[in-house]
Amino acid sequence: MGFVTENHDGKRIPVSKIKRKEMKGKYPYYGASGIIDYVNKSLFKGKYLLIGEDGANLLARSTPIAFIADGEFWVNNHAHVLKTLEEIPLEYVSYFINSIDLSEWVTGTAQPKLNQRNMNKIPIPIPSIEEQIEIVNILQQNLSLIDKQFEMVKIWNNTLTTLRTSILKQAFEGKLIPQDPNDESAEILLQKIKQEKEQLKQKEKSKKKKKNDR
């Protein structure tokens, strides 16, 4: 990694959440796993590769470790900021980093960290530029289809969840089966049940009293 990238970590500036409230704007503010806020100033302009520097996600991999930032943006000190050399596509390195197990280069357990020194040691296969571009194009096409399918699954999941809630609601409202208009209201039925319980209770008391009188 160290031979094929140019590091720009020195330009990063962390900004506290409280301070960012005073800096609300249009420029993305990146952290270890992507955009976490928007501010009114930018530190970088152009296309860069960002790689998460610390956090549980380095090992858990619930979100991508490497991602592309393009345009004007701000980066805190939880993501490495890189440019590639020799016309190597940023996407090629990004896909590669997201495809491998980083545990060999990550230090710490309570707070996993991928420091710059260890990151630079990660070996990267470097085929010809043409092959790198072809790999990126194939991955983009296939991952785009997967992303679309994933979105469809999310939509269906939300739809099914809504449908389930609706069915349960209708069930408790008595709307899943035909209703007899002559049926008494739930309030009246509950009142009758209450009265029946009270009558049974009185009968039990009466039986006990007769038994004791004997």
Interval 138-188: pLDDT, tens? 998 888 777 777 677 778 788 888 887 887 777 766 666 676 666 667 677
Domain ranges of the chain: 5-126, 184-214
Q: Which of 91, 45, 87 is nearest to 67 (CA)?
A: 91
Q: Which residue has the tokens 């992303």?
A: 147
Cα 184–chain centre separation: 49
Superfamily of domain 5-126: DNA methylase specificity domains (3.90.220.20)
Mean pLDDT to the nearest integer, 84-109:
94
Q: Which of 38, 32, 35, 33 is nearest to 20 (CA)?
A: 38
Identify whether the C-beta of residue 104 lies closer than 8 Å to the C-beta of residue 41.
no
Q: What percent of the chain has pLDDT over 90?
A: 59
User: Phi, psi (5° rounding) for residue 159?
Assistant: -65, -45
Among 69-73, 101-105, 148-152, 153-157, the range scoring the smallest mean pLDDT is 148-152
Q: Which helix (H) or strand (E) holds 136?
A: helix 129-172
CA–CA separation, 97 vs 126, rounded Å? 13
**Cα distances (Å, whole numbers) of residue 17 to 36, 143, 172, 204:** 10, 33, 45, 67
> What is the Cβ-side half-sphere exposure of residue 97, based on CA atoms within 13 angstroms?
29
